[in-house]
Amino acid sequence: MTPPSLTVLRRTNVLALHRLFLEQQIAAGKPAKGLDQAFAASLEISPSMWSQIKSSRPIGNTLARQIERHAQVDIGWLDAEHATAHPDPAEERFLDLARQAWRAANAKGKREMRLWLVERAPPVPEAPPGNEPPEAGK
């Protein structure tokens, strides 16, 4: 499996930092309103910049190091995969909806759903020779 691009990795990780920030602030009794602006301020970036990062703006090296310093994580943290990444609430809602549709569908409906997803999913790279998984029963 190909590792995610640096752009995707940094966005995933900064969103994980954002989610942690939100959880901590809400647990501390802060109202949810204005927390995006507070997160941006904690990183010393504008709310507009934060909005762009969340949607599509790549995070360059200078900005990545700034975010890491202000978020008090190790330098390079944004550039590494972390097992603690969790799906965001929108992804969880989608997965719940997909699971409900799958369970309610007959065999033909399940085939159609699967084909629809396969047509839209990015291609999975083939494993290089010599890296095939062992065959079952061996």
What's the pLDDT tens digit per position in 104-128? Answer: 999 999 999 989 988 887 775 554 4
Say how many CA atoms lie within 13 Å of 30 toward its Cβ: 15
What pLDDT was estimated at residue 88?
Answer: 63
CA dist 47 and 50 (Å) reads 5
CATH number belonging to domain 6-85: 1.10.260
| Higher per-residue confidence, 40 vs 97 | 40
Higher per-residue confidence, 51 vs 137: 51
Q: Where does residue 22 rank: exposed (0-12), middle (13-18), buried (19+ CB within 10 A)?
A: middle
Q: What is the pLDDT of residues 56-101, one digit of tens each?
A: 899 999 999 999 999 999 999 999 988 655 666 777 788 888 889 9
Dist. CA 76–CA 54, nearest whole Å: 19
What was the pLDDT predicted at 1? 52
